[in-house]
Amino acid sequence: MKTGFSRIGFVLAAAGSAVGLGNIWRFPYVTGEHGGGVFVFLYLISIALIGLTVFIAESYIGKESRTNAAASYQVTSATNNKNWRWAGFQIFAGIVILSFYAFIIGWIINYILISFTGLPSSIKDAQDTFTNLITYEIGTQILFHTIVIAIIVYIGLKGIKEGIEKANLILMPLLAVILIGLLIYSTTLDSFGKAISFMFMPDWSKFNVDSVLAAVGQAFYTLSVGMGIIITYSASMAKDANIVRSSIYVAIVDTLVALMAGVIIFSFLFSAGAESAAGPGLVFISLPLIFGGWGIFGQIIAISFFCALLFAGITSAVSLLEPSVMYLIEKFKMTRVKATLITAGFVYILGIVGLLSMSNDYGTMLTFFGKSLFDWLDYLTASIALPISGFVTAIFLGYFVDKNILKTKFTSHVSLTIFNIWYFLIKYVVPIAIILLFLNLLKVI
């Protein structure tokens, strides 16, 4: 018999899945690249209208099917059509993402150690430290990658109740304490006001189509939709759980963490006179350099920051493993131990190949059409697989599930008006938004 989440356990687990590197690493640098306040405004709209809409949809599919993500669409469809089982491809996207997510978490562990031993004192030192790690220090990366996978396996073997829920009950509050502490400290900096203005006072001259599409993409990325996670977790919800309320709670927590991270990081950047558009290297190059200029206190702040990033990464990583594990358990009647080890083994090997693709020794042979394997894994999942999965989910519930059934289920928890708004969004707005994303990807718009 499947052991399910408690109500608070589901919210924390789903929030733990959503709150990850996308919030603390990706959100700030994407915000910086797209003009600050304009992007934040568009992101909030995207979360409310698109990200949350798909999140609720996946929660419904999981809760109603009570099965793994691969089988859930078939079970939920009006005709039990076997062709819908192919919608479960998203579980494969999840483990591919986990393969490089794991060694990025390994980088974070490395930076925690650097924070103890000595932060860079010049921009060249900061750049060289990061470049040497990913191009030359293969052994170090594999070591930390192995440690991360071992942690994920340990938690995953404990199962839903004893592993995932308990881990989130510990790590999520710790993450909150560290982030709140860093936020309080950032308010003491002269740059805090500038950071607030940059993030929440839109400069409409920076508005463009790319910013809109980047905001929609970030909404998908940060809420962990399209990976089978929410469907898998929702299958273990209490039968009388209010999926709309739980989804809103998760979206609020996820968004608050992203905004907090943005304010903290931009306060640090502006205090040192650094650029807001520092790109992906912001966390691993710009911030360590800034912390290094603050002496011993900077080391404390650095350790706290990277620990927060580590906790966020681990909770998301555990979530990425679970959909494939549950699929193997239910489809092939495997034990949790066997399913977890098989999935983690695949992730481990693919992750090693991915990190080798950025190395000086193996990069050339693992580069295809101008992109390293790591770049391809990131691109094919974040830019292709996740939006396609969201599109499939929207089309499925909008056109292949009886509206009256949806209305009956939803209105037992929310008003008819709320249901009608959600149904309009899932049937029309979400598919159109994702089509526009792909048209932009193909440079048609």
φ, ψ of residue 367 to 5 degrees: the values are -115, 130
Q: With contact defined as beta carbons under 8 Å apart, do 308 and 175 qualify?
A: yes
Q: Residue 47 corresponds to which amino acid?
A: I
**CA 256, 260, 263, 266 torsion-angle sign:** negative
**Helices assigned H by DSSP within 224-294:** 229-234, 243-271, 286-292
Within a domain: residue 424? Answer: yes
Q: What is the pTM of this model?
A: 0.90
Give me the number of domains the chain comprises. Answer: 1
Within a domain: residue 40? Answer: yes
As separate numbers, helices (DSSP H) first and strands (DSSP E) second, the chain gives 23, 2
Give the pLDDT confidence score for residue 310 in this predicted structure. Answer: 92
Find the CATH number of the domain harbouring 68: 1.10.4160.10
Give the pLDDT confidence score for residue 280 in this predicted structure. Answer: 67
Q: With contact defined as beta carbons under 8 Å apart, do 36 and 203 qualify?
A: yes
Within a domain: residue 165? Answer: yes
Q: With contact defined as beta carbons under 8 Å apart, do 358 and 110 qualify?
A: no
Helix (H) or strand (E) holding 372: strand 371-372
Within a domain: residue 2? Answer: no
Give the pLDDT confidence score for residue 303 in this predicted structure. Answer: 95
Residue span of the structural domain in which 199 resides = 7-441
Q: With contact defined as beta carbons under 8 Å apart, do 299 and 291 qualify?
A: yes
Give the pLDDT confidence score for residue 372 in this predicted structure. Answer: 94
Give the pLDDT confidence score for residue 8 in this predicted structure. Answer: 73
Quote the CA–CA distance of 306 and 292 in Å, as a whole number: 14
Within a domain: residue 150? Answer: yes
Give the pLDDT confidence score for residue 1 in this predicted structure. Answer: 40
Within a domain: residue 1? Answer: no
CA distances to 119, 122, 123, 268, 305 from 293, in Å: 8, 9, 11, 11, 15
Taking 50 as the pLDDT cut, the residues of the chain under it are 1
Within a domain: residue 396? Answer: yes
Q: Which residues pair with 368 in a beta bridge?
A: 371
* SS3 label, residue 368: strand
Residue the block writes with tokens 């990025």:
104
**Helices assigned H by DSSP within 79-122:** 90-117
Q: With contact defined as beta carbons under 8 Å apart, do 186 and 195 qualify?
A: yes
* SS3 label, residue 359: coil
Q: Which residues pair with 367 in a beta bridge?
A: 372
* SS3 label, residue 259: helix
Each residue of 52-68: pLDDT tens digit? 999 999 999 999 999 99
Each residue of 91-129: pLDDT tens digit? 999 999 999 999 999 999 999 999 999 899 888 999 999
DSSP 394-442: HHHHHHSS-HHHHHHHHTTTS-HHHHHHHHHIIIIIHHHHHHHHHHHHT
Quote the CA–CA distance of 285 and 283 in Å, as a whole number: 6
Within a domain: residue 248? Answer: yes
Q: Which residues pair with 371 in a beta bridge?
A: 368
